[in-house]
Structure 1
């Protein structure tokens, strides 16, 4: 009898897990991204070194925007130091968001966009973060946000971590304003 209960519990847990993964697949694994278009700026959100910095630089070099803003919440990063002090034919602006979260990045975006009269910004982040970043930044600024990602190759363990992490971040964001 006990064995049957354990088996049912395991099957029930597995079924719920499959449902959660399937339901959140379009949110974290295949989020809506946008084709690049000319914009007032490109905003590269902070995070793991997954190709987003290079994508932001490539988009600017291709002429999609005259400036790239890099969120730089790191104590020290050789990559960010090189980017923030490199010589580019477009403007590079590095900032430390406050707080050091997507919310802080949204606040900085809104502040600069209002001051400069921006209407469209390309946002670069990584795949599991796109949907949540769209939600959070949209709470901070009502301009047009186009999202791009470098489509990183993540392990199953990393995908599982990001499902949990991004879900917790979404839950927190629902209760916060910008």
Structure 2
């Protein structure tokens, strides 16, 4: 093996290790130092068996008056969709919404509209730890409300974490290069 090849391999390994360390900080170690009461707690769609209990716990512990659930009618969102499907509406303690697009950008747009319609000044958004950084960036781009993110924690093996690191790194780059809600005033 030539010196140039060894240097290239060392540089590649070092770059990978650096990215891995940053990914762990951005996508695993995402718990806030403190959590405060807000006007509503919002659970983003997907991984509802993990996210819904966390959202309900935060709502109960902090006495947050409104639980907001993203309704997607997808396999991973069955638990939240079941809550929405069995509730009687209108219900001042529960809001179910279907985002215009079934992705985080669509949810950010819908949350912006809900914040404006309800006059909320602050919201707590619950999503999986790997998704907190990107979701927070997108939602904060769409509203002037104080957005507090709370992580639920998936039970992933190392391969699943690595896959999420790759997906979320790409998504975070995309959210940075293509900001959401730039064509509309925040809260609209």
TM-score, normalised by the number of residues in structure 1: 0.86
Match of 1:120 in 2: 122
Question: SS in structure 1 opposite 2:117?
Answer: helix
Write out aligned runs for 1:31-50 (5 A). 31-33=30-32, 35-50=34-49
Question: SS in structure 1 opposite 2:179?
Answer: coil
Cα separation, partners in 2 of 1:78 and 1:24, compared to 1, 3 Å: closer
Question: SS in structure 1 opposite 2:112?
Answer: helix
Q: Distance in 2 between matches of 1:55 and 1:74?
A: 20
How far off its partner does 1:74 sit? 2.6
Cα separation, partners in 2 of 1:78 and 1:115, compared to 1, 3 Å: closer
Q: Deviations over 1:68-116 (max 9, x none)?
A: 1111223465423321134599722221111111111111111111111
Q: Distance in 1 between matches of 2:174 and 2:4?
A: 35
Question: SS in structure 2 opposite 1:43?
Answer: strand
Match of 2:85 in 1: 85
Unaligned 5+ runs, structure 2: 182-188
- RMSD after superposition: 2.4
Cα separation, partners in 2 of 1:151 and 1:78, compared to 1, 3 Å: closer
Q: Distance in 2 between matches of 1:51 and 1:74?
A: 16
Write out aligned runs for 1:52-91 (5 A). 52-75=51-74, 78-86=78-86, 91=93
Alignment partner of 2:134 out of 132, 135, 138 = 132
TM-score, normalised by the number of residues in structure 2: 0.82
Q: Distance in 2 between matches of 1:160 and 1:60?
A: 31
Cα separation, partners in 2 of 1:63 and 1:32, compared to 1, 3 Å: closer
Cα separation, partners in 2 of 1:105 and 1:52, compared to 1, 3 Å: same
Match of 1:11 in 2: 10
Question: SS in structure 1 opposite 2:149?
Answer: strand
| Contact kept? 2:54, 2:152, Cα under 8 Å | yes
Match of 2:186 in 1: none
How far off its partner does 1:144 sit? 0.7
